[in-house]
Chains A and B, each alone.
Chain A
Amino acid sequence: MEEMKDLILTYVINEYQEDEDDEITYDTPLISSGFVDSFSMVSLKVFLERKFQISIPDDKATPEAFDSVNKIVELVKSYMKK
């Protein structure tokens, strides 16, 4: 669980953080803050699906579900169980 959180957080920081002074934590809003826009969500979804061997339906990949690392972890976990 912690490993998954850190993996996702590291990916988000590496790929989407533009200003090194910005702090991105597990609860930082990603979509509403503009770190990740709706088009970029696609590459984030691809990352999650490939990394965790899951398939997230398009209608579940919503801005709300992707809005923080913690929310993403919940989403990923719900598909790993299935």
Chain B
Amino acid sequence: MTNIGSYHERVRDFNWNIAEKELGYNPGDTINIGWYCSDRICRMGLSDRIALYHEGFSGEERKYTFNDLRLATNTIGSFLRDLGIVPEDRVCLFMDRIPELYFSFIAGLKIGAIVQPLFSAFGDESLFVRLENAGTRAIITQRKHLAKVRKIADRLPGLEHIIIVDHRGDKELLKGEKAFSLTEATPVEEIEIFPARADSPSVLHYTSGTTGQPKGVRHVHYSLISQYLTTKWVLDLRDDDIYWCTADPGWVTGTSYGIIGPWSMGVTQCVLDSGFSADAWYRFIEKYRITMWYSAPTAIRSLMKAGDEVVKKYDLTSLRHLASVGEPLNAEAVIWSEKVYGLPFLDTYWQTETGSIMISNFPGMKIKPGSMGKPFPGIEGVVLDPKTFTPITEPGKVGLIAFKPGWPAMMTTYWNNPEKYSEKFVNGWYLAGDRAYLDNEEYYWFIGRDDDVINTGGHLVSPFEVESALLEHEAVSESAVVAKPDEVNMEVVKAFITLKPGYTPNDDLELEIMNFIRKKLSSLAMPQEIEYMDSLPKTRSGKIMRRLLHAREWGEEIGDTSTLDDE
């Protein structure tokens, strides 16, 4: 029996107060996610249950009970408060997947700060634009990332505190830098929990769009309601599960379902802070007897590439449920996982802005490999005609994925950018920015993005951001960036460039430009291929025609080129 039971009955009888009642929340009460994920679980008598098994790349293991989690988050929260952090201050988390990252997230929420997790592989420029936009007051980081923070700190007058969780005493700290060691700090037994209301801001995740700078997606504490219930019904987590979400908390999956979902249910989770290899992942599942595994298509396709034989080396019989998120999961991967693990990966669809799962293949439901599944109960989803923005009822007709606003984890705004936020709504629908069609049984089938944003390995990369960074390289005169098809990552970044006079195309320059972008933005944004052009195709008004280059990469029809300048 699954947690959701009958999907159709759940849809028919749905009310979000199912989650509210289970969490003991009444409308108007305070609702602090940090408290729900730690103190409440201890009050339920689960203080001694393991909250986190953590393994670093060299195999060292650490484990923490829910009481350890409660104390660690009190201690970090108290430290931040003593620094003068007050509710709604933005506190950035810029760490690898170490325990302090998970604890700092909960700690920040407990004291009412707005937590801003950022992917630790970001280069200094990616970090700068996000901290500047958010007006971040404190950043918690590690020694290994300190150089990037120091490089930009002078340009961020509002960044008062730089907290290093693994500082060595032999190195000098600069202005604003503070050392904090969780193992050396005196545990704080009690802390005053910030009395968050349903609409109190909680988390600020950054996401990329086609144009402009990255947008800060602001969520509120009430998002717990849908994160809790989707974890229970889609990920099917149960009391005795051992759960592994492979996502990094620098991205929304890593917080909604890598922290809030499992811990609000009091479920044990595992974290492996190590690079990918099939052997390492299977060994990890075997060692911790993982039962529920939430991963991403890129990882699943990499495991497929590693082959079936490596699977046989490990005992994976503990697994009972698998799910996937980040980009569409191809039918072959679903079929393959059923063959080798005896279980299909169930695809789930949602975004940074939605905060929780919107469309999914549910446990117990008929699975159509390659399909996105159906909307979560309580979510009104449609496919809209791109011209009239009215729902399409005809099966097979492609349109825009849209949802009726009102679910608890919906973003409340883009930080400092209400205009962009307003643009996401038409005719009372929230536009997801993706295209799909419905089949005759109302399953959703993903077609692609409705814009130029590149989805690489489940992470969105803005072509504009990469193009702008390319122009900062001394040799680059013009740039255009598009998605290129990729077997494992679905899409990767490809750049077309023209060079300034005095520079000639060569292999060393290509490598230099690749590394320039990797260090400035991130490895995700690094063009996996650079093509030199004599000139870039432009419209008569001088705008670079990215769509033409995109069509060429994907073997598609080029379409109307009547406005093209340079044929």
- Give chain A's interface residues, CB within 8 Å of chain B: 15, 18-22, 29, 31-34, 36-40, 42-43, 46-47, 50, 59, 62-64, 67
Contact = CB atoms under 8 A, between A and B. Distances in A.
Contacts of A34: 57, 96, 273-275
The 4 tightest CB contacts between A and B, nearest first, are A19-B144, A39-B523, A31-B275, A40-B523
Nearest to A47: B511
Contacts of A42: 514, 526, 528
A71 to B, nearest CB: 12
A62 B275 CA distance: 12
B474 interface: no
Nearest to B279: A64
Contacts, number: 78
Given A18-B148, A50-B507, 16 more contacts: A18-B145, A19-B144, A19-B146, A21-B171, A32-B274, A32-B275, A33-B274, A37-B523, A39-B523, A40-B518, A42-B526, A43-B514, A46-B510, A46-B511, A46-B514, A63-B276
B57 A32 contact: yes
Contacts of B121: 37
B287 interface: no
Nearest to B56: A33
A31 B511 contact: no
Contact of A39 (B277, B457, B511): B457
10 contacts: A15-B515, A18-B147, A20-B147, A31-B276, A32-B275, A34-B96, A37-B275, A39-B518, A59-B305, A62-B277
A63 B510 contact: no
B524 interface: yes
A50 B306 CA distance: 26
A62 to B, nearest CB: 8
Main secondary structure of the interface of A (DSSP, over half): loop
A39 B122 CA distance: 12
Nearest to A58: B487
B58 interface: yes
A36 B526 CA distance: 13
Contacts of B145: 18-19
B139 to A, nearest CB: 16
Contacts of A19: 143-147
B275 A43 contact: no
Interface of B: 57-58, 96, 121, 143-148, 168, 171, 273-277, 279-280, 302, 305-306, 456-457, 507-508, 510-511, 514-515, 518, 523-524, 526, 528
B550 to A, nearest CB: 20
Contacts of B511: 43, 46-47, 50
Contacts of B515: 15, 43
Nearest to A67: B277
B144 A18 contact: yes
Contacts of B456: 39
Contacts of A67: 277
Q: Among A20, A29, A36, A63, which residue has the most Cβ atoms of chain B within 10 A?
A: A63
Nearest to B275: A31
Given A22-B144, A34-B274, A43 B508 contact: no
A46 to B, nearest CB: 5
A75 B150 CA distance: 37
Contacts of A62: 277, 306
B147 A40 contact: no
Given A18-B147, A19-B147, A21-B168, A31 B277 contact: yes
Contacts of B528: 39, 42
A50 B354 CA distance: 44
A32 B526 contact: no
A22 B274 CA distance: 16
Contact of B275 (A15, A33, A47): A33
B524 A39 contact: yes
Nearest to B298: A38
Nearest to B96: A34
Contacts of B148: 18
Nearest to B170: A21
Contacts of B514: 42-43, 46
A15 B511 CA distance: 11
A37 B302 CA distance: 14
Given A15-B515, A22-B144, A33 B58 contact: yes
Q: Among B57, B121, B275, B526, which residue has the most Cβ atoms of chain A within 10 A?
A: B275
B452 to A, nearest CB: 19
Contacts of B457: 38-39
Contacts of B508: 50
Given A21-B143, A50-B508, A39 B526 contact: yes
